[in-house]
Chains A and B, each alone.
Chain A
Amino acid sequence: MLVNDVPKQVENIITTSCYDCHSNNTDYPWYNKVQPVAWFLEDHVAHGKEELNFNEWADYSSRRKNSKLKSIISQIEDGEMPLWSYTLIHREAELSKDEKKIVLEWISKLKDSL
């Protein structure tokens, strides 16, 4: 059931809100050139990727996947991710109530299927 079924909506939300810090595909806009912001991003990307890297997902053991999914759920539920300091300059990354609900539902389902 889950094979081809990553809803577009979920994918878009996670891409917009999380991938800058949790993947190898970073999409820095113009302010990457502004030094303090670049330092800030670099630090967070390096550290964020250590914690969770969606590009390495396939290599995670299923135990680790399960663990990360649980962590993602609690980070989103508690509003700790995306980092508030990031959404300050990246307004579109902020999760609305509906977006939270959509992502949480899908991730919970994925977790239960593991």
Chain B
Amino acid sequence: MKKINLTKGILAITLVALTVTSCKEVKKEQHIDNEHHSDGSHDDSTMDSSNDMMGNDQHASKSTALVANYLELKNALVADDKDAAAKAGGMMVSAFDDFETSSFGSEEQQELKDIIEDAKEHAEHIEKSPIDHQREHFDVLSKDMIDLIAITGTEEKLYQDFCPMYNNNKGAQWLSATKEIKNPYYGAKMMSCGSVQKEIN
């Protein structure tokens, strides 16, 4: 019994500690997170430092492999093809491993590291999950990719799309190379749900 109580005590401390940390971080990251929470759109004016990197050719080429794999994954989900999605997920895992951040400024390196750590985990899950689960992870992976591209830029012109229905009407974003809406979260069930939020190039 005593051991259990002790354990609980530690847990309580851990939980409190985690919320304290989260609160501290809220201030720092608020302007970035707000973008996801309000309407999911990215307001360029709040991302000054990343903006400088946009269209920087040296950096844009860094995202090329990732974007290609991501688009393959997206197309597989549009086609309701779990196996192709899993394969593309696996390719993204390698592309994240190969991603070299050393040419970026230190703040950007940190941001990229956080993004890649998170995104890689989602790609790993996509590699080995049923399609519903792949789509859940694709939701967060898409946010990660949008944030990554805000730092690196992209060689290919991309469309940032948004479907307000997915995830209990919380909505979800994705990136596409074509203007026409083809929904990766619903596939054939609701192919045309969504609209273009933004063009990125």
Contact A3-B21, Cβ < 8 Å, known A57-B14, A70-B140: no
Contact A2-B22, Cβ < 8 Å, known A27-B7, A63-B144, A112-B37: yes
The count of chain A contact residues (Cβ–Cβ below 8 Å) is 31
Are A114 and B25 in contact, with the CB atoms below 8 A? yes
Contact with B along A1-44 (1 / 0, CB 8 A): 01111100001101100010001010100000000000000000
Are A110 and B37 in contact, with the CB atoms below 8 A? no
Are B29 and A62 in contact, with the CB atoms below 8 A? yes
Whether a CB of chain B sits under 8 angstroms from the CB of A88 is: no
Whether a CB of chain B sits under 8 angstroms from the CB of A65 is: yes
Are B140 and A114 in contact, with the CB atoms below 8 A? no
| CB contacts between A and B, total, < 8 Å | 82
Whether a CB of chain B sits under 8 angstroms from the CB of A89 is: no
Whether a CB of chain A sits under 8 angstroms from the CB of B177 is: no
Are A63 and B114 in contact, with the CB atoms below 8 A? yes
Contact A113-B22, Cβ < 8 Å, known A6-B12, A55-B14: yes
Closest approach, in angstroms, between the C-beta of B49 and any C-beta of chain A?
16
Are B26 and A114 in contact, with the CB atoms below 8 A? yes
Are B140 and A19 in contact, with the CB atoms below 8 A? no
Whether a CB of chain A sits under 8 angstroms from the CB of B33 is: yes
Q: Would you call the interface of chain B mostly helix, strand, loop, or mixed?
A: helix
Which of B23, B29, B114, B115 meets A2, CB within 8 Å?
Answer: B23
Q: Would you call the interface of chain A mostly helix, strand, loop, or mixed?
A: helix
Are B22 and A64 in contact, with the CB atoms below 8 A? no
Whether a CB of chain B sits under 8 angstroms from the CB of A86 is: no
Whether a CB of chain A sits under 8 angstroms from the CB of B19 is: yes
Closest approach, in angstroms, between the C-beta of B147 and any C-beta of chain A?
8
Cβ–Cβ < 8 Å partners of B19 in chain A: 2-3, 5-6, 110
**19 A–B pairs (Cβ distance < 8 Å), ordered by A:** A11-B8, A15-B11, A19-B11, A54-B11, A55-B14, A57-B21, A58-B17, A61-B117, A61-B118, A62-B25, A63-B118, A63-B144, A65-B22, A67-B122, A67-B140, A110-B19, A112-B37, A113-B22, A114-B22
Given contacts A11-B8, A63-B118, A67-B140, 9 further A-B contacts (CB under 8 A): A12-B8, A15-B7, A19-B7, A27-B3, A57-B18, A58-B21, A62-B33, A63-B144, A64-B117
* 3 closest residue pairs by CB, A with B: A61-B114, A57-B18, A6-B15
